[in-house]
Amino acid sequence: MISIGVVVQRYGNEVLGGAETLARNVAERLLRSGFRVTVFTTCAKDYLTWRNEYPAGETILRGVTIKRFPVARERDIAAFNRFSDDFFGAAAADRDEKKWFVEQGPFSPELVEALIAGQKNIDLFFFFTYLYYPTVMGMPALSKPVVLFPTAHDEPPIYLQAMAEVFRRPRALFFLTRAEMELVERLYAPPGRLLLVRTGLDIRSAIDDRPFRRRYLLVAPYLLYAGRIEKGKGLEAVFDYYRALKEEAYVDLVLIGKKLMDIPARQGLKYLGYVSEDDKLAAFKGAVLSLQPSPLESLSITTLESFSMQTPVLVNRRCPVLLEHIEASGAGLAYDNEEEFLAGFRQLYRRPGLRRKMGEKGLEYVRKYYSWDAVLAEIKKGIAEILETRNEDL
């Protein structure tokens, strides 16, 4: 039986985040496919503070063995942001990159030591996300083959000098979108295999949005944003655009997800908080369209979830990944300013036939490229090729 080690900064049912959810899904599905899977992670639940909330030690979740190690130092996110601003404002020669990764966290030397000690029982390691301390410090410490799911996008940390080693080390890099793969290839030309494996989505058809709308008193047609509500996600501009939109249409703007920034008090703007998975899908299904205004995404699972509910998406044109989804699927529109935002809204709001046709294309897109059967087939193929090459090298 092939033994896979999964390395990710946080892991658990309560952990929300694209890379962390991907790691959990891959781990559980590989286990069900006959692999032995061990997760190496920290005791952190919250990515802002990295506070130790899970107990250290070994547990099992849905059959997957989890080994958690304490974070040595919590993060003060405000202090880190000030430090990070100064760090990236300095000349490259004056930066202490190791200090930045320690401050970025989650700083867990015990986790790195456990990887080194535990690798004798592991055939292949999967690391999730290029950005954090466990990946940057953990990968170079191992002698076993490594696969990296970078979940990368064009942001300042990807240009750090340390990233040359991060992208050089893996035997293979598994990408979620072609735009992500092209970015990493352009910046670092990694010597390992570059594979577009994407990620899987559980596509559900029997979703009724009417109980959701009644529960939250959603009478008017609405636009939906689902995800973390925080600065850097492009929401400030959307709030401004919505003011202009309200002058020409009776439409609400509904937001669901964790709130990490102030939301303006504005008629028609409704924050519902964190909702269940069923309610989230119902929210997508009932929306006129969904919004993805972030300029920095490595995948955007919410875009795919909207497609799965046959709801078109209006996306930020400046994000290559989102633009790829829209152009490849034909299931949405892109904007770069208020004029384009309003034009995209009008086109979808006033033409229900077009909206329905785009919805059908979105569902077809996720079924073709983002079913778990298709994704796992690519992952298994990559594993077989890596381990075959390793055996040839012995």
Residue 274's region, left for phi above 0, alpha for psi from -120 to 50, else beta, is beta
pLDDT tens profile 130-186: 999 999 999 999 999 999 999 998 999 999 999 999 999 999 999 999 999 999 999
d(CA 38, CA 32): 13
Backbone angles phi, psi at 248, to 5 degrees: -125, -5
The DSSP bridge partners found for residue 86 are: none
pLDDT tens profile 359-389: 999 999 999 999 898 899 999 999 999 998 7
What per-residue confidence (pLDDT) applies to 272?
95
What per-residue confidence (pLDDT) applies to 389?
74
Position 354, amino acid: L
Task: Reply yes or no on whether the pLDDT at 329 is more than 60.
Answer: yes
What per-residue confidence (pLDDT) applies to 203?
87
* Contact predicate 150/167, CB 8 Å: yes
pTM for this prediction: 0.81
d(CA 215, CA 273): 13
Cis peptide before 320 (omega within 30 of 0): no
The DSSP bridge partners found for residue 333 are: 314
Task: Reply yes or no on whether the pLDDT at 92 is more than 60.
Answer: yes
| β pairing state of 193-196 and 3-7 | unpaired
Report the b/e string of 95-118 with b at 16+ CB within 10 A: beeeebbbbbbbbbeebbebbeeb
For the domain covering 3-200+371-393, report its CATH number. 3.40.50.2000
Task: Reply yes or no on whether the pLDDT at 391 is more than 90.
Answer: no
CATH superfamily, region 210-369: Glycogen Phosphorylase B; (3.40.50.2000)
* Contact predicate 183/153, CB 8 Å: yes
What per-residue confidence (pLDDT) applies to 394?
47
CA 220 to chain centre: 31
Residues of the chain with pLDDT > 90: what percent? 88
- In the chain, CATH 3.40.50.2000 covers 3-200+371-393, 210-369
